[in-house]
Amino acid sequence: MELIFEKSKAGRSCNLLPPCDVEKAPLAAEIARQKAPRLPQMAEIDLTRHYSALERRSHGVNNGFYPLGSCTMKYNSKINEAMAALPNFTDIHPLQPENTVQGSLEVLYLAEKYLCEVTGMDEMSLQPAAGAHGELTGLLLIKAYHQANGQDNRRKMIIPDSAHGTNPASASMAGFSVVNIDSAADGRVDLDALRAVCDENLAGLMLTNPNTIGIFEKDIEQICQIVHQAGGLVYYDGANLNGIVGLSRPGDMGFDVIHLNLHKTFSTPHGGGGPGSGPVGCKKILAPFLPSPRVIKNGETFTFADAPQTIGRMKAFYGNFLVVVKALTYLLTIGGQGLTDAAEMAVLNTNYLMKKLDDIYDMAHHEISKHEFVISCERIKKEVGVTALDIAKALLDYGIHPPTIYFPLIVHEALMFEPTETESIETLDHCAAVMREIYELAYSNPEALHAAPQKACIGRPDEVEAARNPRLRYNFE
Ligand SMILES: *Cc1c(COP(=O)(O)O)cnc(C)c1O
């Protein structure tokens, strides 16, 4: 496909500006650019076609099934977008006086309240811009707490080997040293391994529940107790709340701090880099350290305030506000019972698809899953040389976005499916039929799978090269 700069023709434009009717005020020479910017010059029709063509080359949840595990690519209702596009939300300035933006402050206030209710936490900050940013924020709360208690020695953060890769990265960014513990044979936290690493230097534990292979930590209360007894705090990675939201609450399980991904569970679109939102909720003991500013209610008036021992600002202004508007719209339209129904349907869809495949594919475990399930293609690879990557690429030819592959690391040749609650039984049946067809192909014609995809506009890019040396600028020379 031709790039926009290659399509550019000198003199073409989309501007229909009226003639200038005020005196020109030229910029001072030292701040004016010397050469005109090299912007592409195109008529509006060609520009529209260019972007429409780009859109057709990508796959989003509006195009088809997108069971990308750990990402919760659910359908997001258009009403969320409509609310976030209201001029009273889009046309405000972050430095406007509080009394002129009472409605927007109420949005932040209500979103915090509802998300506290959903998670079983006491207080919340909507400032972090993404899940990993929420992790960093939550960990800084834990650090500030230990420091305030004169226990700065507590720098050890325990992270199970099934954790999302962002967990150890955030912990080390926050100044903790990461101690990994291996999972038990059933994929859950090994309590003895946990006890063995708890000591007076323990800062806390980071945990995902349901964990990354989609199963619920049944000993969760005991896990929290072990960490608390050693003086540590327990962090809940709540990015994947979709299988338990409205059914059980991390706060009730014993967790002290949590981050959520509004751009997963709470129905705001993601992919392509944002914008996201990773609110952090906590119990009362951590609330004094929450980022500034917070929104509080004084009688009938909403106003900004600082927590007494705040860790400071985590982001300019008040977080990604319009993402919060979308999430609040979702919460208000679906309601409490709706959240519970959504989680139950997400779990049902996951187990339905898993059951439709478990007679031929090897599952990472054989119990009820929550929001996602994991297939291991290790046996297929051994028998016929077809890998998880081959299967993922083949799915593209059937109009299905591949599941997450090679994650979690504890499952070899992993394919991780997360169907979400918004998919119909027909879509799940179609996916199961495609996966069965691919399985047969693996044994009858493995070459066809090595050569997949045949219909996608890009075959198999050199992923290492693409990640290490991305070419993001047009070379004009
Ligand atoms: C997606 C995810 C994250 C990171 O969220 P980002 O918004 O991409 O930073 C962290 N933990 C888990 C379990 C996730 O699934």
What is the phi/psi pair of residue 147, to 5°? Answer: -65, -45
Return the residue matching tokens 């997963």. 264
Q: Are strands 294-298 and 233-238 parallel, antiparallel or unpaired?
A: unpaired
Ligand 1 neighbourhood includes 268 CB (under 6 angstroms):
no
Written as one letter, the residue type at 62 is N
How far is the first Cα of the chain from the last one, in angstroms, to the nearest whole number? Answer: 19
Rounded-to-5 percentages of helix, strand, coil across the chain: 40, 10, 50
* Residue spans in the chain of domains classed CATH 3.90.1150.10: 344-466
Q: What CATH topology corresponds to 79-334?
A: Aspartate Aminotransferase; domain 2 (3.40.640)
- State which ligand 1 atom lies nearest to the alpha carbon of 264: 1
- State which ligand 1 atom lies nearest to the alpha carbon of 276: 7
Burial class of residue 361, CB neighbours in 10 A (0-12, 13-18, 19+): buried
Burial class of residue 452, CB neighbours in 10 A (0-12, 13-18, 19+): buried
pLDDT for res 273: 66
- State which ligand 1 atom lies nearest to the alpha carbon of 72: 15
Ligand 1 neighbourhood includes 371 CB (under 6 angstroms):
no
Burial class of residue 383, CB neighbours in 10 A (0-12, 13-18, 19+): exposed
pLDDT for res 410: 86
Q: Which run of H or of E encompasses 125?
A: strand 123-125
270 Cα to the center of ligand 1, angstroms = 11
Angle, in degrees to the nearest 10, between helices 321-355 and 425-444: 60
70 Cα to the center of ligand 1, angstroms = 8
CA distance 383 to 466: 31
Ligand 1 neighbourhood includes 237 CB (under 6 angstroms):
yes
Q: pLDDT tens, 125-167?
A: 999 999 999 999 999 999 999 999 999 999 999 999 888 889 9
CA distance 435 to 425: 15
CA distance 415 to 387: 10
Q: Report the Cα 376 to chain-centroid distance in Å.
A: 23
What is the phi/psi pair of residue 172, to 5°? Answer: -75, -30
In angstroms, what CA-CA distances link 469 with 54, 357, 461, 465, 472? 22, 38, 12, 5, 9
Q: Which 3-state string (H, E, C) describes 225-265? A: HHHHHCCCEEEEEECCCCCCCCCCCHHHHCCCEEEECCCCC
Neighbours of 92 (CB within 10 A): 14
438 Cα to the center of ligand 1, angstroms = 30
257 Cα to the center of ligand 1, angstroms = 16
For the chain of 477 residues, list the mean pLDDT of each consecutive stretch of 10. 94 88 92 91 95 91 93 94 96 95 97 98 97 98 98 97 92 97 87 96 94 87 97 96 96 97 92 85 98 95 96 94 97 97 98 97 92 96 98 96 92 96 98 98 98 93 91 87
Residues ≥6 apart with Cβ < 8 Å to 197: 156, 158, 179, 181
Using most ligand atoms within 8 A of CB, pick from 237, 257, 259 the residue to mutate for ligand 1: 237
pLDDT for res 369: 92
372 Cα to the center of ligand 1, angstroms = 14
Rounded to the nearest 10 degrees, how much is the dihedral formed by the CA atoms of 156, 249, 269, 368?
90
- Architecture of the structural domain at 344-466: Alpha-Beta Complex (3.90)
Q: pLDDT tens, 86-120?
A: 999 999 999 999 999 999 999 999 999 999 999 99
449 Cα to the center of ligand 1, angstroms = 30
Of all protein residues, the one whose alpha carbon is nearest to atom 3 of ligand 1 is 131
Ligand 1 neighbourhood includes 130 CB (under 6 angstroms):
yes
* Residue spans in the chain of domains classed CATH 3.40.640.10: 79-334
Ligand 1 neighbourhood includes 164 CB (under 6 angstroms):
yes
